[in-house]
Amino acid sequence: MKTDLQDWPERSRELSQLLARAGLGDRAAFARFYEMTSGHLYAVVLRIQRDRASAEDLLQEVYVSVWKAAASFDAARSQPLTWLTSIARNRAIDSLRRQQAQPQTDSLSRDDEDERPDPAEALADEAPGPLALLSRASDARELSSCMERLSAAQRQSVALAFFDGLSHAEVAEQLREPLGTVKSWVRRALMSLKSCLERGVLRDADHPHSEA
Amino acid sequence: MDYGRPSLADALAAEYVAGSLRGPARRRFEALLPGHPALQAAVRGWQARLMPLTAAMPPEPPPPEVWRKIEERLWPQPAASSLAATSGTADGLVWWRRLGVWRGLSAFATLAAVGFAVLLASPAPVLPPVVIVLQGTGEGQAATSSFVASVSGDGRALVTRPLVPVSLQDDRVLELWSVPPVGNPRSLGLISASGLTVLPRDRLPATLLRGGTAALAVSVEPPGGSPTGVPTGPVVFAGKLVL
């Protein structure tokens, strides 16, 4: 399955179709929708909620609600993959919140008995780190030039927050930087990303490529 | 905090979507969202910007029991795995599944504008009428045009009208179909490619608005309509019924 950024809109067209059919009660379409998206969604969720059992439950919840909401999905407002990924990420972040509400020793060693690397080790692990993911995503679009204007630590802040679902405090802890500094890095990185993408959109508008 | 300030709303939406807005601030933000269209728009903007970044993540297939559990929860009865049925054909919806029926979803704005015009043309309804936008399924001009169908609230009158006249070969006509959730589409009759058509009431299924029709579709047929009772020509417009 291709997961390139350029595929996002292309895959979305097919997914919108499947969702519309699912909205009419078509189970086979929903099964296909699951087949096409669950690998991506599980990766996104697992990165934030590292406990596999919780991540699986969460994935289940997401698809159950997607089936129920399929009829009301509005393709004019958002692309299905964007919609789906947002739902899953929100659930994953909420599940961290619930977890944190329970007594816990230390966020960096929470899966001792587990094979999963802790967030700090994940950076050295063979799975791409948040920064690698960000730069991979940047390759696909012209984000890199904008992102380059930020320091590595600034880039890493936003990547840790976004991909790994770390809070400002956790990012600060991991990077050993003051909380306020990390907050402003994340904010600046996001705004830079926005203006960069907006320039990209303007450029695309100057050189439109036909779309069926 | 003044969430109405656009720059603040945008900054908060960014942090919310990026996931770095946490704890009570996140909960507050979520509680505010339903009442703030501007905030919602900012969130959608950031979702559109940031979510594609996740495409860089290598997919990780979940264990098979996840799908099994989803099926169990959604369809508790003896559920033959519908994964196997993905390419099934024994279903009346098959032809219509291939169509871009979903595109009807993208026409809400047009719907609002045109819906009123059609509404005025239909017989005085007791219940509010149901308006269905049938979006073009083809390429080029056909893909961007659409049909509007208005069904009176009691389901006993149906009026169709193209947004712009549809150009057809001289020896072709348009036929309107009711697509049931299961089974073969049923012809509702021929409709005008250029103006208003009021469908004969005896052609309408009694259950039109009571679950008997999942969608409406328009196909191109030889003069007199489909000779076989099911659509033979290409389906050029389709839209699902949202009740």
Q: List the single best residue of A74, A86, A115, A185 to mutate versus B (max B Cβ within 10 A).
A: A86
Chain B residues whose beta carbon lies within 8 Å of the beta carbon of residue A167: 20, 22-23
Q: Which residue of A has its CA nearest to B26?
A: A94
State ipTM.
Answer: 0.78
Q: What is the mean pLDDT of residues B48-59?
A: 85
For A24, which of B53, B86, B181 is closest by C-beta distance?
Answer: B181
Judged by a CB distance cut-off of 8 A, whether residue A187 touches chain B is yes
Pairwise CB contact (< 8 Å): B88 & A137: no
More confident residue, B121 or B7: B7
What separation in angstroms does the CA of B221 have from each of B175, B197, B213, B234? 7, 17, 21, 8
Give the separation between CA A56 and CA B69, rounded to whole angstroms: 10
Q: Model pTM?
A: 0.57
Residues A87-103: tens digit of each pLDDT: 999 999 999 876 665 54
- The per-residue pLDDT of chain B, averaged, comes to 75
* Residues 6 or more apart whose Cβ sits within 8 Å of residue A201: none
Give the separation between CA B9 and CA B39, rounded to whole angstroms: 6
Q: Which residue of A has its CA nearest to B18?
A: A162
Give the separation between CA A133 and CA A127, rounded to whole angstroms: 10
Binning pLDDT at 50, 70 and 90, where does residue A141 land? low
Chain A residues whose beta carbon lies within 8 Å of the beta carbon of residue B48: 78-79, 82
Does B68 have pLDDT greater than 90? yes
Whole-number pLDDT of residue A195: 80
Residues B183-238: tens digit of each pLDDT: 778 888 888 888 888 887 777 877 777 777 888 888 888 888 888 777 877 778 88
Pairwise CB contact (< 8 Å): B52 & A137: yes
Q: What is the mean pLDDT of residues B157-161?
A: 83
Please give the structure tokens belonging to residue A69: 């909401």
What separation in angstroms does the CA of A89 have from each of A44, A46, A80, B50, B204? 7, 10, 14, 11, 45
More confident residue, A144 or A113: A144
Judged by a CB distance cut-off of 8 A, whether residue A83 touches chain B is yes
Q: Which residue of A has its CA nearest to B40?
A: A77
Whole-number pLDDT of residue A85: 94
Judged by a CB distance cut-off of 8 A, whether residue A35 touches chain B is yes
Measure in Å the smallest separation between the Cα of B59 and chain A Cα atoms: 4
For A137, which of B56, B75, B85 is closest by C-beta distance?
Answer: B56
Alpha helices in chain A (DSSP H): 7-23, 27-48, 52-69, 80-101, 119-122, 130-140, 144-148, 152-164, 168-175, 179-206
Whole-number pLDDT of residue A125: 44
The dihedral through the CA atoms of B177, B161, B220, A22 has a sign that is negative
Contact A175, A153 (CB under 8 A): yes
Chain A residues whose beta carbon lies within 8 Å of the beta carbon of residue B137: none
Whole-number pLDDT of residue B239: 84
Whole-number pLDDT of residue A106: 41
Does B58 have pLDDT greater than 80? yes
CA-based nearest residue to B86, from B67, B72, B101, B105:
B67
More confident residue, B23 or B184: B23
Contact B17, B23 (CB under 8 A): no
Measure in Å the smallest separation between the Cα of B20 and chain A Cα atoms: 5
Pairwise CB contact (< 8 Å): A137 & B55: yes
Q: Which residue of A has its CA nearest to B215?
A: A24
Q: How far apart are the first and last CA of chain B?
A: 39
Give the separation between CA B199 and CA B157, rounded to whole angstroms: 7
Q: Which residue of A has its CA nearest to B46?
A: A194
The dihedral through the CA atoms of B227, B229, B234, B239 has a sign that is positive
Does A118 have pLDDT greater than 50? no
Whole-number pLDDT of residue B101: 46
